[in-house]
Amino acid sequence: MECKKLCNQFSDLFKPELDCLKDFELEVSFKPDAKPIFCKPRTVPFAILEDLNQAYDAGIKRGVLVPTQFNDYGTPMVRVRKAFSKDRKKVTLRVCGDYSVTMNPQLEIHRHPMQLPDDLMRKLSGGYYFTKIDLADAYNLIRLAPESQRRLALSTHRGVLLQTRLPFGISSAPDYFEKIMEQLTSDLRGVAVYLDDILVSGNNAEEHVQNIRALFERLSEKGLRCKLEKCSFAQPSIEYLGHVLSRHGVSKESKADAVIKMPPPMNFSRLRSFLGSVQFYAKFILKLSTLTEPLNRLTRKDVPWKWAAEEQASFQLLKNALCAEAVLAHIDPSQQAGISCNASERRYSQIDKEALAVIFTLRKFHQFLNGRHFILVTDHKPLVTLLGPTKGKSTLAANRLARWALVLNQYYYSVEYRKAADHGNADALSHLPAGEDRKFDEEEKEADVDAVCSLRAVKMINPQMNPTDPGLMAKESKKEALISAVARYAKEGWAQSLESEEVKHFKKLQHSLSTENGCFFLGARIVVPSSLKRQVLRLIHLGHFGMQRMKQLARSVVYRPGLSSALRTVMERHIEQLQPRYGLEEDADPVPDITRLKGDSSAASCEEDTAATTTLGTTEEQE
């Protein structure tokens, strides 16, 4: 009832006469070297000539088209059928220009980011009532500047017609229109806009009416028009951008009949089309990657087409999943946030799989988690120590884990361990709980701790030989003028002119520099203070791995300009010392490197480093 009163009060909004956005003219941008292009009009079939003339007359009457005598720009017309009459003898046509052959290649595109459906849904979350407003003649509400009218003119069988409003067909039109509509409604509460579709929500009936009133006042003030027959008011749920929005959450648009009747794809093209449709609703389907695996396999290169029982079963399961009712609840910002993660990946070691699940989840829900405290729940105990924000994370542990540790630094969270048997809510997304395998869990736990903490073992076995201790690194870094200067520039900004060549070297790497607990890092590699350089060299050389492997070890965990040449010098001096002692000839065959691994080290990039760092903790220096 209140909505009906509002429509009567703002009756001007629903008048059929075309209006335009007040106090605004759009100047379409073209490239500086844009040249006039004039195409002759295209032949019009006699069967639609009368209908097309009526469309021209209607456009001229409304002021959208203006005849002109001469023009050096002319775009050929392309007709778009809007609707048939009830007896299907008459057709309503929309007049558009085929700008793909004239002005689109010469446009200077100013891209404006379209809002994602998920972002619009979140903006309206918590609403109990929903109203959808449809703008009338969307693009035609935007008046063009005179020069743009001239350049976007149409070449027709009735002569040249200037376009006075933003036309359909130019590639930059959606960006212009979306930007204008967002600017008009950005300060309105409970209002979301996607091109000419406007959605209004409210937590109760009174608030909902207030939000609609505020929108109507803004549209009326700016001279815009709406189609009353396409508007829906105060609905408990509403279809929007392929989804159904309600107070309970977001669900799929009901298309069960069409999905059930969908035949199996008979070629690669139709299969990709089907998988694309499935992907649009991916967030509503549990175990999607498992269900689609047989079909995804067919799309891989050099895999022949074979539609057998396995593919048919996968296709049917996906159809059933698309027809199933599933509702994603709205997030409540007043409640404690928590995420439960579980590994679901291949070709990774166990700890990498578990950590990757955390990183994927954080990136997926970054908008919800960044800037607030949340609880990270995992069933993998080594992650509690490795990822815990209050624990001593070793950025030297492994390159991949170190990069992930840097990602975690931007979040405020607590880590909670939960046994696998109690972690079924996360397990259900990847596999069904099948009971604990204690022996396997213990073996994995020991292997993970050994792989991650290999460098920490140096401190326990030989404390005086541990220049990589974070506390010592931070203390010595603070003393060194070069690192202090670079750290200051990285924090406060780099000067235009730098006297020191060493500082200039670090300036080139400025986008990879960071600090953590007083230590200075280049990516995941710690920058070694000059006072510890000799000790680090001795530590790297401790296992006598050979020049190539020592370089690989050094480049994976530490950084210092000139470190490679210093390593070569240490290696050459060591060989000089061994020659007289053991009578080695200079051209003797080199001793082959032996890689010794301990525990699970399936990540290929970490095998050599794991072997090296394990040896570092158990071998004494024999210089």
Which tops the pLDDT comparison, 525 or 219?
219
In the prediction, which pLDDT does 430 show? 44
In the prediction, which pLDDT does 347 show? 57
Using the predicted structure, report yes or no on whether residue 591 has a pLDDT greater than 70: no
In the prediction, which pLDDT does 262 show? 81
Q: CA 473, CA 531: separation in Å to the nearest integer?
A: 10
The residue ranges of every structural domain in the chain are 1-114+133-191+208-225, 261-329, 345-453, 465-574
Choose among 363, 351, 473: nearest CA to 410.
Answer: 363
Q: Among 27-36, 156-165, 205-214, 593-602, which is the least confidently predicted range?
A: 593-602
In the prediction, which pLDDT does 440 show? 32
Q: Domain 465-574 carries which CATH code?
A: 1.10.340
* Whether 244 contacts 254, CB under 8 Å: yes
Q: CA 287, CA 372: separation in Å to the nearest integer?
A: 29
- The pLDDT of 502-519, averaged and rounded, is 78
Using the predicted structure, report yes or no on whether residue 512 has a pLDDT greater than 90: no
Which tops the pLDDT comparison, 490 or 606?
490
Q: CA 62, CA 342: separation in Å to the nearest integer?
A: 61
* Whether 64 contacts 164, CB under 8 Å: yes
Q: Among 27-41, 216-230, 584-598, 601-615, which is the least confidently predicted range?
A: 601-615
Using the predicted structure, report yes or no on whether residue 362 has a pLDDT greater than 80: yes
In the prediction, which pLDDT does 93 show? 77
Same-fold call for 1-114+133-191+208-225 versus 465-574: no
Helical residues (DSSP H) of 281-348, grouped into ranges: 288-298, 309-323
Element of type H or E holding 443:
helix 438-452
pLDDT-based confidence at residue 218 (cuts at 50, 70, 90): very high
pLDDT-based confidence at residue 74 (cuts at 50, 70, 90): very high
Using the predicted structure, report yes or no on whether residue 544 has a pLDDT greater than 60: no
Choose among 355, 320, 582, 334: nearest CA to 451.
Answer: 355
- The pLDDT of 122-139, averaged and rounded, is 86
- Name the phi and psi angles at 604, rounded to 5: -60, -35
Using the predicted structure, report yes or no on whether residue 494 has a pLDDT greater than 50: yes
In the prediction, which pLDDT does 610 show? 36
Using the predicted structure, report yes or no on whether residue 425 has a pLDDT greater than 70: no
Using the predicted structure, report yes or no on whether residue 148 has a pLDDT greater than 90: yes
Q: Among 32-46, 55-69, 453-467, which is the least confidently predicted range?
A: 453-467
pLDDT-based confidence at residue 553 (cuts at 50, 70, 90): low
Range with top average pLDDT, 93-102, 458-467, 572-581: 93-102
pLDDT-based confidence at residue 107 (cuts at 50, 70, 90): very high
Using the predicted structure, report yes or no on whether residue 69 has a pLDDT greater than 50: yes
pLDDT 10s digits, 22-40: 889 999 999 999 999 999 9
Q: Among 126-140, 472-486, 535-549, which is the least confidently predicted range?
A: 535-549
- The pLDDT of 257-265, averaged and rounded, is 78
Residue type, 178: E
Q: CA 430, CA 361: separation in Å to the nearest integer?
A: 13
Using the predicted structure, report yes or no on whether residue 215 has a pLDDT greater than 90: yes
* Whether 447 contacts 599, CB under 8 Å: yes
Taking 3-state DSSP, the helix, strand and coil percentages for the chain, each rounded to the nearest 5, stand at 45, 15, 35
Angle, CA of 92, 157 and 167, to the nearest 5°: 55
Q: Which residue has the tokens 């220096």?
A: 621
Q: Among 190-204, 223-237, 305-319, 553-567, which is the least confidently predicted range?
A: 553-567
Angle, CA of 269, 273 and 276, to the nearest 5°: 140
Range with top average pLDDT, 193-202, 383-392, 498-507, 545-554: 193-202
Q: How far does CA 369 lie from the centroid of its chain?
A: 15
- The pLDDT of 342-367, averaged and rounded, is 74
Using the predicted structure, report yes or no on whether residue 450 has a pLDDT greater than 90: no
Q: Give the N- to C-terminal CA distance of the chain in Å, as an integer.
A: 92
Mean pLDDT score of the chain, rounded to an integer? 75
Which tops the pLDDT comparison, 215 or 300?
215
Q: Among 109-113, 515-519, 587-591, 603-607, which is the least confidently predicted range?
A: 603-607
- The pLDDT of 538-545, averaged and rounded, is 64
In the prediction, which pLDDT does 96 show? 86
Q: Kind of pairing, strands 412-417 and 75-84?
A: unpaired
In the prediction, which pLDDT does 65 show? 92
In the prediction, which pLDDT does 19 show? 83
In the prediction, which pLDDT does 449 show? 37
Tokens of 193: 């806009």
Q: In CATH, which superfamily holds the domain spanning 1-114+133-191+208-225?
A: HIV Type 1 Reverse Transcriptase, subunit A, domain 1 (3.10.10.10)
pLDDT 10s digits, 270-317: 888 888 888 888 888 887 888 888 898 888 888 888 898 998 998 988
Other Cβ atoms within 10 Å of 337 Cβ, number: 16
Element of type H or E holding 60:
helix 46-62
Q: Among 211-215, 451-455, 478-482, which is the least confidently predicted range?
A: 451-455
Q: Among 126-135, 187-196, 238-247, 466-475, which is the least confidently predicted range?
A: 466-475
Using the predicted structure, report yes or no on whether residue 465 has a pLDDT greater than 60: no
Using the predicted structure, report yes or no on whether residue 435 has a pLDDT greater than 50: no
Which tops the pLDDT comparison, 289 or 541?
289
Distances from the Cα of 273 to the Cαs of 265, 267, 276, 280, 296, in angstroms? 9, 10, 5, 11, 12
Using the predicted structure, report yes or no on whether residue 426 has a pLDDT greater than 50: no
In the prediction, which pLDDT does 399 show? 56
Instruction: Provide the 8-state DSSP code for 65.
Output: E
Using the predicted structure, report yes or no on whether residue 413 has a pLDDT greater than 90: no
Q: CA 125, CA 332: separation in Å to the nearest integer?
A: 9
* Whether 113 contacts 220, CB under 8 Å: no
Using the predicted structure, report yes or no on whether residue 333 has a pLDDT greater than 80: no
Using the predicted structure, report yes or no on whether residue 324 has a pLDDT greater than 70: yes
pLDDT-based confidence at residue 73 (cuts at 50, 70, 90): very high
